[in-house]
Structure 1
Amino acid sequence: MNSASRTRIKICGLTREQDVDAAVAAGADAVGFVLYEKSPRHVTPKRAGELARRLPPFVTPVLLFVNEDAARIAAASAHIPGALLQFHGEETPEDCETAARAAQRRYLRAARIPLGDGAAPFDLVKFASDYSSAQAILLDAHVEGYGGGGKAFNWSRLPPSVNCHLVLSGGLTPANVTDGILQVRPRCTTLAVDVSSGVEVSSGGTTLKGIKDAEKIHRFVAAVRAADPQLAENHHVRVPPA
């Protein structure tokens, strides 16, 4: 399969060595560490560095920040060589670019997509243009606080064509990620997916935030891999403009 059409996979919110190892064993392309202190999945930069040292070559660590100071982002990034930055708050394009320069890293920018069919429209084309220096735009559900809260937005409300790399997030699970890819991939240059709560351990109906389930990770990766041949067979993959 053409490498541009392969859906890349990030497992986010990792806090334990065994979960990093499980993500790598399943075939994840990236793993995410949350450096936002108010998150239940928060880890310190030192801890993120310890976990990232377990990664083999070509698996990318990603550091998630929310409205953090550029100097602190640069200091945190020093613990994790080669990490990408992911901005999930109210950061302006200038904020993102300043922090990325200070840390000497590339970045992803999260777009918070309103929930519900009656929600106000979100101009993703303009958002992507405003953050054109981002490596990709990550699509997450707009809920109280920051992060998608395990909620999926209505993928069909996305514009039919966005000339950038997208990362689909928000409420993804092994059960729905294939459909999400089939709906969103034709709308963009390339697509990746990002999962956190959808591969966490459940106990008594409660998700244990930050504690991943290795079997769910493997099922999620398998579901993503099942979507790619369907895209190729149906000719849904959009050819990027020259």
Structure 2
Amino acid sequence: MNRTRVKVCGITRLEDATMAVNLGVDAIGLVFYSASPRFVEIGTAAVIAAAAGPFVSVVGLFVNASVEQVKETISLVDLDILQFHGDEDEAYCNQFSRPYIKAIRMHHDLNPNKSILEYPSARGFLFDSWSQDKYGGTGEIFDWNRLASLRGRPIILAGGLSPDNIDRAVSTLKPYALDVSGGVEAAPGIKSSKLVQLFVDRCSKA
């Protein structure tokens, strides 16, 4: 776990996916939550997933989706892993015959150690900023020191990340991966090749 991996989430265009893969990201994220400005239609998502290649993970993000929606999506889009970013419980997350990541939104009174015990089948945990009316995509940073007791575990860190704070994120937590979206964008859902390159480069050196 010496190398911090990079996931670029909120991919909406084939050209951005190809660019991110060519720049060396480990994973790309496709958002299937219609309220998000980074929502992607299933047909476009299928094309993007097929172009990712065999060694880049394609992650599908869902927020309180119906079982039918998730099943339809995974039947049409070649997803490697699911990411549940809402209020889904363990039984819900574990029913789709796919490995999954559970996102934990860091409410001020949440105990991360207790929260992860509620999802024993999860492949990993992504920690993101809390918002009353948003499920991710806030662009805000939470107090990373709240995860200090989890250090040594495969932490996936999200929320307000950009090329400017990679060094601090890595030195604070030594995370398994950094999950970035808005911090590498020219506009919502439109990735900047310059910022993605900078993010990947700085992460590799942190």
> TM-score range with shorter-chain normalisation?
over 0.9
Name 1:171's counterpart in structure 2.
160
Which residue of the other structure, out of 134, 140, 143, is the alignment partner of 2:122?
134
Residue 198 (1) aligns with residue 187 (2): no
Shift of 1:121: 3.1
Name 1:93's counterpart in structure 2.
90
Counterpart mapping for 1:138-157 below 5 A: 138-143=126-131, 144-157=133-146
How far apart, CA to CA, are the structure 1 residues paired with 2:3 and 2:37? 31
Kept in 1: contact 2:151–2:173 (CA 8 A):
no
Name 1:106's counterpart in structure 2.
99
Kept in 2: contact 1:124–1:158 (CA 8 A):
yes
* Deviation >4 Å, runs of 4+: none
Decide which moves more: 63-72 or 213-222.
63-72
Shift of 1:162: 5.4
Shift of 1:16: 1.0
Kept in 2: contact 1:32–1:64 (CA 8 A):
yes
Shift of 1:6: 1.4
Structure with the greater alpha carbon radius of gyration: 1
Shift of 1:96: 0.9
Match for 1:215: what amino acid?
K
Name 1:49's counterpart in structure 2.
46
How far apart, CA to CA, are the structure 1 residues paired with 2:6 and 2:106? 20
- TM norm structure 1: 0.81
Kept in 2: contact 1:111–1:139 (CA 8 A):
yes
Kept in 1: contact 2:63–2:85 (CA 8 A):
yes
Gaps of 5+ in 2: none
Match for 2:147: what amino acid?
L
- TM norm structure 2: 0.94
How far apart, CA to CA, are the structure 1 residues paired with 2:63 and 2:49? 20
Residue 123 (1) aligns with residue 111 (2): yes
Kept in 1: contact 2:82–2:98 (CA 8 A):
yes
Shift of 1:163: 6.6
Shift of 1:82: 4.2
How far apart, CA to CA, are the structure 2 residues paired with 1:76 and 1:128? 26
Name 1:12's counterpart in structure 2.
9
Gaps of 5+ in 1: 115-119, 202-207, 228-242
Shift of 1:14: 0.6
